[in-house]
Amino acid sequence: MNLTKVAASLALASLAAASASAFAQVKVGVVSSATGPTALVGIPQKNTVPLLPKKIGDLTVEYIALDDASDPTESVKAVKKLISEEKVDAIIGPSGSPNAMGVIQFVADAGVPMLAPVGTAAVVLPMTDQKKWVFKTTQNDDIIAKALVDYMAKHNVKTLGLIGTADPYGENWAKVMAGLTDKAGIKIVASEKFNRSDNSVTGQALKIIAAKPDAVLVTAPGGPSVLPETTLYDLGYKGHMYQTHGAALPGFLKLGGKKVEGTVLAASLMLVLGEIPDSNPSKKVASEYIAAYEKLNGEKPATFGANVYDAGLLLEKAIPLAEKKGKPGTPEFRAALRDALEQTHELVGTQGVYNMSPTDHSGFDDRGREMITVKDGTWRLLK
Amino acid sequence: MNLQIAMLLGQDGMTNGAIYALLALSILLVFTVTRVLFIPQGEFVAFGALTMATLQAGHAPALVWLLALLAVIATIADLLAGRRDTGRYRFGTGQALRLGYPFVLIGLIQVLPLESLPMALQAALTLALVVPLGPLCYRLFYQPIANAPVLILLIVSVALHVAMVGVGLLIFGPEGARTQPFGEGGLELGPITLNAQTLWVLTASLALIVALYLFFERTLYGKALRATAVNRVGARLMGISPVFAGKASFFLAALIGALSGILIAPITTIYFDSGFIISLKGFVGSIIGGLASYPVAALGALLVGLIEAFSAFFASTYKEVIVFTLIIPFLLWRSLTSRHVEEEE
């Protein structure tokens, strides 16, 4: 009796498996930090998953979303699960820079292309045999940094103070800025580090003020970018304040209030969409995304969500090309998908235009990043 | 490094140190009375700060629903326990009050103009919302295993901490919050200005410490708690209920935690998970006090705050390393000088 039951259920299971593979289906894993310290970044990304394309050509796409609780160890577990159990064809995520750095070797070993919506360029630079499986859907730090340094040079900034988080984001920015400021003749007179969880940065701020820089750049992702700036303001620092695209979220304005008035940052055009001319190709894509997201979630998305949306656009373009080389679920398909992603040409995303190449897996150029300032408590385009 | 910088750093260190000192005291209090290492202490700081911010934004804090839920579960647990012990359900005034309290608060929140309330009332409402969670946590999670070994109590603490961080994310969301300062301006003191919030933190901490001292020295309830801390069995023989002692110490811990949260919320951005690292530094302070001495714990916590401020100036990259490495020499010194006492029989 028991044996027949087992046999019957086995037969049923194999039947189900057979019928599932009859519909050609692409499986995409999404890993986001919807809980834990990076939740600010991860939640809009998770909420974007329902907006990703469900049908590409004649293939249906299934998304399997997992939460890594902002923990790099959990990210590795989630990615391994997606690869070995779900046999996904591509992975979107994880949300955090340290999390993404930790999973690169596993996706490379399994040969699964990964679209990482993270800030740090270290996931695709310098290009290695492992990193060729990774594509990054955000602007590289150096594109943003170059815009900032150009602006600083134009506005007579000669000495600069840096304060950043003690994580890959802050470290990479310190490295990028050191190279760029050198060329522009700007001297970095103080470079300080703080932790996201710090409840005071007075010590670091005093050290920066003691060095008397013309301007200070805060390099921190998300909410922590506010504290150094308000502390400097409270201590009476009068120089110019700069922020990276890490500060480009509504919470920055809310937490900073009038103390962050006049801050200059380079970031995605999504912040000032209304002021962008219609000729910019990304305006239409970004408006569509924002409208769809708002309809679904009842609030405007942070730019982090758009990075996941862009990953969907990239896949939409690459999957039909890959389908010609192999069936979804096979190593051939995944390798072809990787090649197809690498050949992405002039694809308009929410934050700019992608032109991938074997050496550039981020593919952004100057289009899509704008100089923005804070005026009367809102983002305004700097002209 | 000149006098002005040293004074500013000192001010910063004292402000944080005062908060760490308060937390060190409440961790110590809970540990000596109930043998629980109260890791979720930090969550009360975060809950206090974020509830205050929610009120100031004019929203009804969803925390009240958590309070209601826990109160309902606690009542059911009490009824079941009463039936097990005496064979019938008992529902006294105490239970009725506890069950009714959150719903009164829900009503109040609906009626009151939260945003325009004076700040003192907002703070009082915040305390009214957050503090009852302390005794409820004790009733539900610690009271049933009050006689378990310290290790098991510690494991429950860790679990409760993780759960509360998760609940915090659910209730308050991932964004950090800051509240409005209690007052503008400040006090001129030589080359620097002590800002108003710093003065508030220092005076409030000092007042609370004095109040705690008077409570433990002068009142019967305070003496009962101290007796429990000295000898649990002896105190019980003298008619001091261990359940009462546990709930009272958790009440005080939640009160101190929530108050600390309200005090620092205007100075820094608090996230749903910020509490842990703050209470961890208070914990370093109470370790310096050997988990036994109140004055040494408070001084130790103050020292942690000062070292943190100065190391942030001299070597910001290694700040946390310096602060938490501080615990090692003190543990060494403690383990060499103090006699080892075995708690468990």
Does A251 contact B310 at a Cβ distance shorter than 8 Å? no
How would residue A8 be classed by pLDDT, with cut points 50, 70 and 90? low
**Residue B204 structure tokens:** 């409030």
Average pLDDT value for residue range B279-284: 91
Cβ proximity of A39 and A221 under 8 Å: no
B146/chain A closest Cα distance in angstroms: 31
Q: Which residue has the tokens 């800025």?
A: A177
Residue ranges of E strands in B64-166: none
Q: Which of B175, B267, B268 sits opposite A251 (nearest CB)?
A: B175
**Residue A24 structure tokens:** 């050609």
Q: Quickly count: other Cβ atoms within 10 Å of residue A142's Cβ.
A: 19
Alpha helices in chain A (DSSP H): 2-22, 39-48, 72-84, 97-110, 141-154, 168-184, 202-210, 226-234, 250-256, 281-297, 303-323, 331-342
B67/chain A closest Cα distance in angstroms: 22
- Judge whether residue B46 has pLDDT over 70: yes
Does B316 contact A204 at a Cβ distance shorter than 8 Å? yes
Does A223 contact B320 at a Cβ distance shorter than 8 Å? no
Average pLDDT value for residue range A3-20: 52
Q: Which residue has the higher pLDDT, A79 or B95?
A: A79
- Judge whether residue B158 has pLDDT over 90: yes
Does B15 contact A200 at a Cβ distance shorter than 8 Å? yes
pLDDT at A52: 92
B145 found inside a domain = yes
pLDDT at A20: 46
Q: Which residue has the higher pLDDT, A302 or B132?
A: B132
Report which DSSP code applies to B249.
H
Average pLDDT value for residue range B6-14: 88
B324 found inside a domain = yes
pLDDT at A10: 54
> What span, in angstroms and rounded, lies between the C-alpha atoms of A96 and A223?
14
pLDDT at A24: 65
Q: Which of A35, A193, A200 sits opposite B317 (nearest CB)?
A: A193
- Find which of B175, B180, B276, B278 to mutate to test the A interface (most A CBs within 10 Å of its CB): B175
Q: Is A361 left (phi over 0), alpha (psi -120 to 50) or beta?
A: alpha
Cβ proximity of A237 and B43 under 8 Å: no
Average pLDDT value for residue range B245-254: 94
- Judge whether residue B344 has pLDDT over 50: no
Domains held by chain B: number: 1
> What span, in angstroms and rounded, lies between the C-alpha atoms of A136 and A127?
12
Question: Residue A372: which of A144, A213, A159, A185 has the closest Cα?
Answer: A144
- Find which of A35, A40, A46, A199 to mutate to test the B interface (most B CBs within 10 Å of its CB): A199
Q: At A156, is the secondary structure helix, strand, or coil? A: coil
Residue B13 makes CB contacts below 8 A (sequence gap 6+) with B305, B306, B307, B308, B309, B310
Task: Enumerate the residues of chain B whose CB falls inside 8 A of the CB of residue A204.
Answer: 312-313, 316
pLDDT at A23: 56
Report which DSSP code applies to A56.
E
Summarised one tens digit per residue, pLDDT across range A45-102 is: 999 999 999 988 888 999 999 998 888 899 999 999 999 999 999 999 898 888 998 9
Query: B129 to each of B52, B212, B222, how far by Cα in Å?
Result: 10, 21, 24
> What span, in angstroms and rounded, lies between the C-alpha atoms of B33 and B225?
7
- Judge whether residue B77 has pLDDT over 50: yes
pLDDT at B330: 84
Cβ proximity of B128 and B255 under 8 Å: no
Residue A168 sits at the chain B interface (C-beta within 8 Å): no
Q: Given CA atoms B33, B38, B42, B44 in this order, what sign does their dihedral have?
A: negative
Q: Which of A42, A192, A200 sits opposite B12 (nearest CB)?
A: A200
Q: At B312, is the secondary structure helix, strand, or coil? A: helix
Q: Which residue has the higher pLDDT, B28 or B3?
A: B28
Point out the least confidently predicted range of A361-365, B24-28, B258-262.
Answer: A361-365
B342 found inside a domain = no
**Residue B146 structure tokens:** 């009050």
How would residue B141 be classed by pLDDT, with cut points 50, 70 and 90? very high
Length in residues, chain A:
383
Cβ proximity of A289 and A50 under 8 Å: no
pLDDT at B339: 64
Quote the domain boundaries for residue B214. Answer: 3-337
Does B278 contact A39 at a Cβ distance shorter than 8 Å? no
Q: Which of A166, A197, A204 sits opposite B274 (nearest CB)?
A: A197
ipTM exceeding the 0.95 mark = no
- Judge whether residue B258 has pLDDT over 60: yes
Q: At A216, is the secondary structure helix, strand, or coil? A: strand
Summarised one tens digit per residue, pLDDT across range B289-342 is: 888 888 889 999 999 999 999 998 888 888 888 888 888 888 888 888 766 555
B117 found inside a domain = yes
Residue B6 makes CB contacts below 8 A (sequence gap 6+) with none
B48/chain A closest Cα distance in angstroms: 15
Domains located in chain A, CATH noted: 21-140+284-354 (3.40.50.2300), 141-274+369-381 (3.40.50.2300)
A-B Cβ pairs (cutoff 8 Å, strict): 89
Instruction: Please give the residue of chain A at the shortest CA–CA distance from B14.
Output: A200
B344 found inside a domain = no
Contacts by A234-240 with C-beta closer than 8 Å and gap 24+? A234/A259, A234/B195, A235/A202, A235/A205, A235/A206, A235/A209, A235/B8, A236/A209, A237/A205, A237/A208, A237/A209, A239/A161, A239/A213, A239/A214, A239/A215, A240/A152, A240/A155, A240/A157, A240/A214, A240/A215, A240/A216, A240/A264
Summarised one tens digit per residue, pLDDT across range A122-173 is: 888 788 888 999 999 888 888 888 889 999 999 999 999 999 988 878 888 8
The residue type of B43 is E
B10 found inside a domain = yes
Summarised one tens digit per residue, pLDDT across range A191-213 is: 999 987 788 898 899 999 989 99
B26 found inside a domain = yes
How would residue A15 be classed by pLDDT, with cut points 50, 70 and 90? very low
pLDDT at A22: 44
Instruction: Please give the residue of chain B at the shortest CA–CA distance from A224.
Output: B269
Mean pLDDT over all residues of chain A? 86
> What span, in angstroms and rounded, lies between the C-alpha atoms of A139 and A132?
17
B53 found inside a domain = yes
Residue B68 makes CB contacts below 8 A (sequence gap 6+) with B102, B103, B106
Average pLDDT value for residue range B118-136: 93
Average pLDDT value for residue range A352-360: 88
Does B319 contact A234 at a Cβ distance shorter than 8 Å? no
Summarised one tens digit per residue, pLDDT across range B160-171 is: 999 999 899 889
A48/chain B closest Cα distance in angstroms: 17
> What span, in angstroms and rounded, lies between the C-alpha atoms of B80 and B179?
42
- Judge whether residue B225 has pLDDT over 50: yes
pLDDT at A240: 92
Q: Given CA atoms A123, A126, A129, A132 in this order, what sign does their dihedral have?
A: positive
Instruction: Please give the residue of chain B at the shortest CA–CA distance from A207.
Output: B313
- Find which of B269, B306, B313 to mutate to test the A interface (most A CBs within 10 Å of its CB): B269
Q: In what order do the strands lie in the sheet with A25-32?
A: A55-56, A59-67, A25-32, A90-92, A114-116, A134-136
Bridge partners, A116 (sequence order):
A136
| DSSP state letters, A58-127 | TEEEEEEEEE-TT-HHHHHHHHHHHHHTS--SEEE--SSHHHHHHHHHHHHHHT--EEE--S-GGGTSS-
